[in-house]
Amino acid sequence: MSTIIARTPRLIIREFLPEEKEHFFTLMADTRINAYLPKRSHQQIYDVFTDTIADYLQGIKLTRWGMFDVVTGELAGLAILRYNAEDAEKAELGYALHLHYHGRGLATEMAKTLVRYGFEVMQLREIIAVTVEENSLSHKVLLKAGLKRGDNTVRSGEELAFYSLQREDYFALRPKVIAQTPRLIVREYRPEEEDAFVAMHSDEEVIRYLPKRSPDEYRKLFREGLEAYRGDTGLARWGIFEPLTGDFIGSCLLRHPVDAPEKVELGYSLRPDYWGKGIATEMARELIAYGFNRLGFDEITAVTDPENSASQNVLQKAGMQRQGEAFWYGQMLPYFVVAR
């Protein structure tokens, strides 16, 4: 087993296993992939891999990792976030991507993920990166990841483009966090998370007790959710994420229901692999606390499908009490309430 650093819908970023040395060598020895990286002999490439494994054994938290295709398990590239030799609160971002994976946005996906990991998990003060002027793709990746170009720097006699992102600038741009526990983060969605939201709501297990909607309708819901962040009610649809890996867990909301606009309704849906772990109850408690303590509501309600006993248990464990039924969404539904 190797430690997973982060996961995205398409990539797993994790420690290399010792037996993956030849895969690492094949990637790093391909001059088409590494045309803009320092030239290394075959032995030097093997030495880099050995040093990387040694980093893991020594507990060094920022180093090199493999980027692996979630579906095939293939090595897609190398992800790097290494401590600066002179400043332990600064790290340098780098990567190498297999040619087969070029043009898919994976480098940007990886870079954004490592930036998040560096600031949110490792508490870095600054992330930097350098690239040669001719490497237009890397310039685009770094800009999309949020880094800003500064004055050029010189290394080993070569002038390089310099990029950086400060911690305070990152958090100023970060989606608003609604709640956080050791097991989950409830936060505003990013636009690029639309596909994950739609994919979850294409799972028959997830939508069993939800109104029937097409993928396009879920895309519309997601985009309306993004627009809601601009409002001043504090009510919206948010994503639920795993704090360390960034895995998408599910979706939740507080809203004024159409059938009772004077009330505030709590709702949620989770990926099936997170069912039965108490995540939904934990989320519901946090959302109730947010509604009471941050938004100032005196009462929060919820309804479920009559057959959805699991959700009814979640609501009760979160402190809500059943108060008969309510005619919402065209049918009589079990009705739950919690008051401040």
Which residue, of 136, 171, 206, is where some domain finishes? 171
Instruction: Determine the longest span between alpha carbons in the chain, in angstroms.
Output: 76
Same structural domain for residues 185 and 158?
Answer: no
User: In this structure, what are the phi and psi dihedrals at residue 240, rounded to the nearest 5 degrees?
Assistant: -110, 125
Residue 232: what pLDDT?
85
Same structural domain for residues 141 and 179?
Answer: no
> Sign of the CA dihedral 31, 37, 39, 44?
negative
Q: For the chain, what's the residue count?
A: 340
pTM for the full model? 0.62
Tell me the sheet residues that pair with 161: 131
Going from the C-alpha of 141 to that of each of 102, 160, 254, the distances in angstroms are 12, 16, 35
Same structural domain for residues 131 and 192?
Answer: no
Which two three-digit tokens encode residue 317? 């464990």
CATH number at residue 330: 3.40.630.30
d(CA 129, CA 138): 10
Residue 28: what pLDDT?
92
Residue 139: what pLDDT?
95
Same structural domain for residues 254 and 279?
Answer: yes
d(CA 340, CA 338): 7
Three-class secondary structure of residue 176 per DSSP: coil
Four-point Cα dihedral 137, 142, 145, 149, nearest 10: -140
Same structural domain for residues 316 and 226?
Answer: yes
**CB neighbour list of residue 292: distance below 8 Å, 6 or more residues apart:** 298, 300, 340
Three-class secondary structure of residue 37 per DSSP: coil
The amino acid that residue 158 corresponds to is E
Is there a contact between 63 and 49 (Cβ–Cβ < 8 Å)? no
Q: How many domains does the chain have?
A: 2
Same structural domain for residues 9 and 157?
Answer: yes
Same structural domain for residues 61 and 187?
Answer: no
**CB neighbour list of residue 19: distance below 8 Å, 6 or more residues apart:** none
Which residue, of 171, 194, 216, is where some domain finishes? 171
Residue 312: what pLDDT?
98
Range of the domain at 291: 175-339
Same structural domain for residues 143 and 202?
Answer: no
| Mean pLDDT of each 10-residue bin along the chain, 340 residues long | 87 96 94 81 94 96 96 96 90 94 90 93 95 93 93 93 95 87 93 94 96 95 93 94 86 96 98 96 98 97 97 98 96 97
Which two three-digit tokens encode residue 177? 């966090």
Which residue, of 123, 138, 171, is where some domain finishes? 171
